[in-house]
Amino acid sequence: MIGVDRIRAAAERARPHVLRTPLIPVEGALLKLECLQPTGSFKVRGFFAAALGLDPEELRRGLITVSAGNAAQACAYVAKTLGVRCRVVMYDTAPPLKIEGVRRWGATPILMPREEMLQWMADEQWRNEPETFLHPFADPQVMAGHGGLAVELLEDVPDLARVLVPVGGGGLIGGIASALKTLRSEVEVIGVQSDGYALWTRCLEAGGPVAIKPETVADGTTAPFDARMFELLKECVDRWLTVPEPRLRSAIPELATAAKVVAEGAGALAYAALEQLEPGPRTVAVVSGGNIDPLLLADLLS
């Protein structure tokens, strides 16, 4: 797991650039609104922490990452803020909103078919690029930055008992769990995925990687298997919940109409899983992002 001193240092580096996001009550729980961060997701926490921890020469080279969308926008935003160039390798099926978000922050998207992009990652082809590569979820500094969210929760919710976290590559829950297991080990860390891409529950059951085709509106959770994250998630996640895809699709308009929160598919996962829990202990569900395609949102609302 990531050391708590490293998490505190990473959170302090990122602090001037990120929002201390609010908590709002809903259905006996609290929602942590990371959808309100700059670029609309938690990813800026980790990317600011990692970029500001680079050697100055590494940072001057610019930044490159690979992403389904939210890490792409975070990397682009961080690069613009710090005055360096940025390129991002993305699925060619990424939501147009996220591709345009990358361009809006002055970065260059490099679009690839999913299989080609996964091969690019597997072959570590970023080593051939001129920019400094920041891994979107397995970089320890990125995860340490995400762990700052857990530090905020412990300060803002003294009686915190359990945290529900949407899981894609695992960087968010890896950072959160690393902090909680050190600072308040009795807090239960619950990972949440859709049954349209329940990668980690399937892999943990099988004891290793499995092949799954993504069939979910939670595009932000469709990262590939990574052996490093597999070992970390085995160690630090207490429980897993799987949300049926129809329930996830209904949770998005519920959040918009009842809680006045706009969440993308991945962002709504933890909220959608609340109904599977017994009531009682103080619970926080992380709304990880709000970058939903407007046409999809309109369709779900109707």
Q: Which of 1, 33, 12, 290 is nearest to 151 (CA)?
A: 12
- 43 counts as catalytic: yes
Annotated active-site residue in 41, 67, 178, 288: 288
Q: Which residues pair with 91 in a beta bridge?
A: 112
> Is the distance from CB of 42 to CB of 267 less than 8 angstroms?
no
- 288 counts as catalytic: yes
Pairing of strands 86-91, 63-67: parallel
Distance CA 260, CA 258 (A): 6
Radius of gyration of the chain (CA): 18
* Residue 179, CA atoms < 13 Å, CB-side half-sphere: 27
Distance CA 298, CA 300 (A): 6
Annotated active-site residue in 32, 43, 98, 181: 43
Six token digits for residue 122: 């597997």
**C-alpha triplet 84, 36, 271: angle, nearest 5°:** 130
Distance CA 289, CA 26 (A): 17
Catalytic residues: 43, 288
